[in-house]
Structures are given as C-alpha cells and as structure tokens.
A = this chain, B = another copy of it.
C-alpha cells in the first residue's frame, strides 16, 4: 500500500489501457471503480481484477481516468469534469492538442484537467490483454492544460509513478509534434510499404525476409483507430511527411539517373552520393533512438548466462535462479547448433539483477556482459 494515488479512482473505458491501470492500482490497494459503455468490456475488466463496476452509491472519485477512443475523448472528459466537480480528470488519448482545443471550446473547467499519454501498448487489445506492468519503465507524457492547478498535475504525476511509468512533462503542441515523428509517420510509411504488397505475386512474397516483416509489422493496425489518430494530428503529421517526400523525390530522381547508366563508372556525378546520403542519414537517425535498436522495450534487466550444452544444465540454472529468490520474468535461450554452449538471457525486475549476478557467479556460472 505504498501508492501515492488517493482513491476512489474512476476508470472510464475498460480496454487494454484502462483495465491495465485498474489492475496495477488494485495491486497497490487503491479502490478502482470501472465504467464502460460496453457491458461485455466492463464485465471482462471486473473479471480480470481491474476493479468494481460503478454504482449509483459510489463515493465521489478523487481522480478520473478517461481511456476512450480518441475522437470521443474530449466529450467524455467534459462530461466527467461536470459530473464530478471535485475530481481531477485525465485522459490517455494519443493526440493531446485537439482534446484541449475541444475542451476549451466547450467551456470545461481546465484547472482540474491534465492530459496524459502513456507510451505503452500491446499487440492485443481489450481488457483480457490487460497486465498490471504494462506501464513499467515506459514514458508517461503529462500535458498540463496551461490552466491546470499544481494539485491536479501532481495527482496525475503520482498516478504515473504508482504505475511504474516515467513521467515526461510536455505541452500539448510539442507532444503532438513528437508523436507525429516517432509514431504517426512510421505508421503511415509502414502502411504505404505494405500496401504495395497487396497485388504482388506469390513468388515475390515468398522471398520476404525479416526486414520486410519488421518494416510492415505495424501496418496490421486498426484503420478506424488510426484514421482518428491521424486526423486529430493532421498538421504535425503532414509537416513530417512533406519533408520525407522531399527526401523521397531525391532518391527517385537519383535512381532514375542510375537506371540510365550502364555501370557505376558511367553514373552521372552526384547520383551515387544522393543514394548513399539517404542511407547514411538513416544511419544517423536510427542511432539517435535511445536503447537497444530493435530490442523489446526494456521493462526488465537482462542477465545473460553461458549454459554448457550438457543434459540438465539449463534445468539446474533455472532451479538455482529460483533458489536465489529471483522471479524469472522471461527467458530466451540462444543455442546455435554445433556450438559448445548456449546463452540464456534471463529477464528480471531491475532491482533483482545485481543479487542474481552475485548468486550465479558464486555458484560457478559464467556471466556474459
């Protein structure tokens, strides 16, 4: 019961995000009241342990979290501000500027509203996919309305910290520009690359490798959700896409001129430089993404252990991890055929890694840094 968040917390919208917030707060002993227009989603969220359904007799909430689809978020936030005149209200919509504009236009009490955008998700959606550690170590954007009271900002910051997230204070406009760049434009480009495959022949598709799969993974996203996100952040997304299109024009032009040449020696000056420049600027850009490129978001610390390729060695390792009192969160075993040892990548909560390393070293295991 170390939570700084004061209940009851009212969660409106019990999809993946809302139900995960409920699960995490319930684990901290906070009273959570759930509401959702879908009775099925509400019952599912209750059944996974995310809280109790709202009733007419509930105490007034101290905090309301709106986790509704982006295009109805402002209306739901306005209704909650009106219905609960002493509550702080936050929302988790992935675009913040238009929610604020709509709230301002509606005359809502902006002193009690603070926008949120938790940068967390899963490939599955809905309350049945909810997990309490969804936000662990992930950024949680806190966007003041400009008129938000200090008390309201502190309440939302406490919520983010209670959920294990990392609060990032950003105004709505800068937030929207940032997500255009790191989320919305990658979504559009992934969709456009994937769309080129729609009428491709089967033989070509049979040659697909991991690169194509990575680039197009998020192209499987929901069109209705993304239409609403992209329309809500149209200006910022368009600005980045226009700059990207200028770069694309340079590459298309260079390829056209390369196609006219009969070999590298006869290519017009500047053509190969233009192509190499596009790839090199990509190198420079991807190098700026924090954390391990292509790796999973680091919710856990990974301890890597060399496991001799002999019967029972992996089982012994796992037994000894348990004896060290460490909860193994995830295990990936890399085992190249014909190699004398495999590598076990053991994911543990960040606090437990040093203890585990000491225990395993004492028992004679070789750790790989």
Write the residues of chain A forming the contact surface with B, with a CB cutoff of 8 angstroms: 23, 27, 71, 98, 102, 119-121, 123, 131-133, 138-139, 141, 168, 170, 174, 177-179, 181-183, 185-198, 200-201, 203-224, 226-228, 230-231, 234-235, 237-238, 240-245, 247-249, 251-252, 255-256, 258-259, 263-264, 267, 271-272, 275-291, 293-297, 311-312, 314-316, 318-319, 322, 327-339
**B286, A219: Cβ atoms under 8 Å?**
yes
- Please tell me which one of the listed residues B177, B210, B223 contacts residue A279 in the complex, with CB atoms under 8 A apart: B223
Determine the chain B residues whose CB is within 8 A of the CB of A224 once the complex forms: 276
**B267, A231: Cβ atoms under 8 Å?**
yes
- Nearest CB to that of A320 among chain B residues? B315
**A215, B213: Cβ atoms under 8 Å?**
no
If A234-B258, A252-B241 touch, whether A193 touches B203 (CB-CB below 8 Å) is no
Determine the chain B residues whose CB is within 8 A of the CB of A272 once the complex forms: 227, 231
**A241, B248: Cβ atoms under 8 Å?**
yes
**B170, A183: Cβ atoms under 8 Å?**
no
A336 to B258, CA, bound (A): 52
If A235-B259, A241-B251, A245-B245 touch, whether A215 touches B197 (CB-CB below 8 Å) is no
- Please tell me which one of the listed residues B188, B285, B297, B335 contacts residue A198 in the complex, with CB atoms under 8 A apart: B285
- Nearest CB to that of A223 among chain B residues? B279
Determine the chain B residues whose CB is within 8 A of the CB of A213 once the complex forms: 289, 291, 293-295
A196 to B182, CA, bound (A): 9
If A241-B248, A312-B319 touch, whether A285 touches B337 (CB-CB below 8 Å) is no
A-B contact pairs, 22 of them (CB 8 A): A132-B337, A138-B209, A181-B200, A183-B211, A186-B215, A189-B189, A189-B192, A190-B282, A191-B282, A192-B282, A197-B285, A213-B291, A213-B294, A213-B295, A214-B217, A219-B286, A220-B293, A221-B283, A223-B283, A235-B259, A241-B255, A315-B316
Shortest CB-to-CB span from A344 to chain B, Å, is: 8
A274 to B238, CA, bound (A): 14
If A248-B192, A279-B221, A337-B131 touch, whether A197 touches B181 (CB-CB below 8 Å) is yes
A263 to B284, CA, bound (A): 37
Determine the chain B residues whose CB is within 8 A of the CB of A315 once the complex forms: 315-316, 318-319
Determine the chain B residues whose CB is within 8 A of the CB of A193 once the complex forms: 185-186, 189, 244, 282, 285
**B216, A289: Cβ atoms under 8 Å?**
yes
Shortest CB-to-CB span from A263 to chain B, Å, is: 7
Determine the chain B residues whose CB is within 8 A of the CB of A123 once the complex forms: 294
**A209, B183: Cβ atoms under 8 Å?**
yes
Shortest CB-to-CB span from A160 to chain B, Å, is: 14
Shortest CB-to-CB span from A157 to chain B, Å, is: 16
